Structure 1
Amino acid sequence: MSWHEVGGDLIFAWLAIATAYTVFTLVGFGSALIASAPLAQVMPVAQVIPLLALLDCGGSSLRAGRAWRAVAWSALAKLAPGMALGQLLGVYVLSRLPLAWMALALGGFVVVLGIRGLLGRMNAPKEGRLGAWGYALFGGVLGGLFGSGGFMYAAWLERQLPEREVFRATQAVLIALSTTWRIALCAGLGLLDAALLWQALAMLPAMLAGIWLGQHIDVKLSRDQLFRILNALLVVSGVSLIVRHLALL
């Protein structure tokens, strides 16, 4: 691969990371959903989730540290065990699934979420018999396999914690625990190495730029319009990833 191609891939990755963290700062979710499919175009799929976990860990830990006193520890305790087990299962599958199938699974997951968002169905199922363990386990599997299970935790916490500050604090601490655990699992299964750590450091300026832009941008769109654009981007990026890797089967 030529230096020109390497430079082009790096710029593409920076743009994906910066966009993802701008979106995350504006709407409070979705960094992995926005960045995972574009990054999988320029790097092995098995490295995307550990890379995003490394980037997410720093930011979520900072938010968790600031919100520590408002955490609803009883709610956190109900979700943490299922989250830990679910991530173990998800990361294990991630380490065993062939490259082409991982890309297709990731692309399909992103497309489905994008379509659900466009149809106004981004919320998780009603609690019913699912309970905290169900939400946590499913969210953990999605987090370990695709790097994004936080919307499942949020769906349960929103029903349990009516105070916005308590909800945000509890979600922040849970995401910090989730990303830290995911990093440990990825390291234990050999998905982390020195090269990936250097890649994360190379992406750090793009992440910080995205956070800064998200904090300073003046959004002219309504929240619903913004979500529709983001979900349309999810569909496009997921389809492109599927098309790119179909030839590998």
Structure 2
Amino acid sequence: MPSLESLSNLALVTFDAPERLLAAFGVLVLAYAFFHLLGFGTGLIASTPLAWVMPVPRIIPLLALLDALSALQRGWRARKDVDKSALGQLIPSMALGQALGVGLLKLLPLSLSAGLLGGFVMLYGLHGLRPLPGLGAWRGPTVAYGLLGGIMGGMFGSGGFVYAACLKARHGDDRARFRATQAVVISLSTLWRIALCALAGLVDLPLLLTALLLLPALPLGAALGNWLDKRLDAKGFARLLNGFLVISGVALVLRGL
């Protein structure tokens, strides 16, 4: 049976040095603070800095493992607040959207698809921050959000901000219902991503051990997020959410470029 030291050394295969592991830990604490607040954002915050300290092909499966655990934990604890009606509409349309996203990824130039989708999300967030005169907030059907989020997930690996926009529109200032439902949606989507990564051979023992070493970043991030949440009123929370939508849209456009 392998010793604890040999398992630790195996986990550190993902990094060149222990200080890189510490840097990744700090990044993840911040990322999961925002994940606790918004139900998405770990990839947006963590992907770029993590690329400086660990191999890029390891980032997506690592975040998928940690996201799934965090979202499942939150969803289970708050299961009584889950909006089952929204789930019934989001999940099937999300699955269809992911299939469409994969197909579009093969057909459309990345720059065009990223520009169109990123521009839409950016404008949605900007409208939330400062509504245009005479134009009310869009309240499209939940199925449409599921399709769009699934397409974003299939093409770019992230549709969480679309589901967040949908649930914020449905539940307004009811943060408990918003977060519980978002957690379940993200966990199901992330579990599917883990399955795909495993089939592609991207999930191995060193990655699992690395995720185990970084696991304490989740409760620390949640504690930080909870501290921030107590200092945000409803308007502050809405500004934070819409601000992240704008950043997400810009990030998609830049990814295409």
Structure 1's unaligned 5+ residue stretches are 97-101
Question: Map of 1:47-62 to 2, 5 A cutoff?
Answer: 47-62=58-73
Q: Percent identity between the aligned chains?
A: 45
Q: Any idea what the Cα deviations from partners look like across 1:20-73, whole Å, max 9, x if unmatched?
A: 112223455422211112112233333222211110111111111122233332
Aligned residues of 1:91 and 1:182 also touching (Cα < 8 A): no
Q: Any idea what the Cα deviations from partners look like across 1:92-144, whole Å, max 9, x if unmatched?
A: 999x9xxxxx9x99x999x9799769956679x8355xx43332132124335
3-state SS, counterpart of residue 192 of structure 1: coil
What is residue 185 of structure 2 aligned with on the other side? Answer: 174
Q: Does 1:84 align with 2:88?
A: no
One-letter code of the match for 2:26?
L
Alignment CA distance shift 1:67-1:51 (3 Å)? same
CA distance in 2, matches of 1:68, 1:137: 24
Out of 133, 138, 149, the position equivalent to 1:126 is 138
CA distance in 2, matches of 1:80, 1:227: 25
What is residue 216 of structure 2 aligned with on the other side? Answer: 205
Out of 162, 165, 170, the position equivalent to 1:152 is 162
One-letter code of the match for 2:94?
M
Out of 28, 31, 41, the position equivalent to 1:30 is 41
CA distance in 2, matches of 1:5, 1:23: 27
Shift of 1:83: 1.7
Out of 137, 140, 144, the position equivalent to 2:147 is 137
Aligned residues of 1:51 and 1:200 also touching (Cα < 8 A): yes
CA distance in 1, matches of 2:119, 2:23: 24
Alpha-carbon RMSD: 4.6
Which structure has the bigger radius of gyration? 2
One-letter code of the match for 1:155?
A
CA distance in 2, matches of 1:80, 1:118: 23
One-letter code of the match for 1:143?
G
Question: Map of 1:237-248 to 2, 5 A cutoff?
Answer: none
One-letter code of the match for 2:167?
L
Alignment CA distance shift 1:140-1:114 (3 Å)? closer
Aligned residues of 2:149 and 2:160 also touching (Cα < 8 A): yes
Aligned residues of 2:39 and 2:164 also touching (Cα < 8 A): no
Alignment CA distance shift 1:49-1:116 (3 Å)? farther
CA distance in 1, matches of 2:209, 2:201: 16
Aligned residues of 1:88 and 1:185 also touching (Cα < 8 A): no
Number of equivalent positions: 231
What is residue 194 of structure 2 aligned with on the other side? Answer: 183
Q: Does 1:7 align with 2:18?
A: yes
One-letter code of the match for 2:215?
L
TM-score in terms of structure 2 length: 0.66
One-letter code of the match for 1:153?
Y
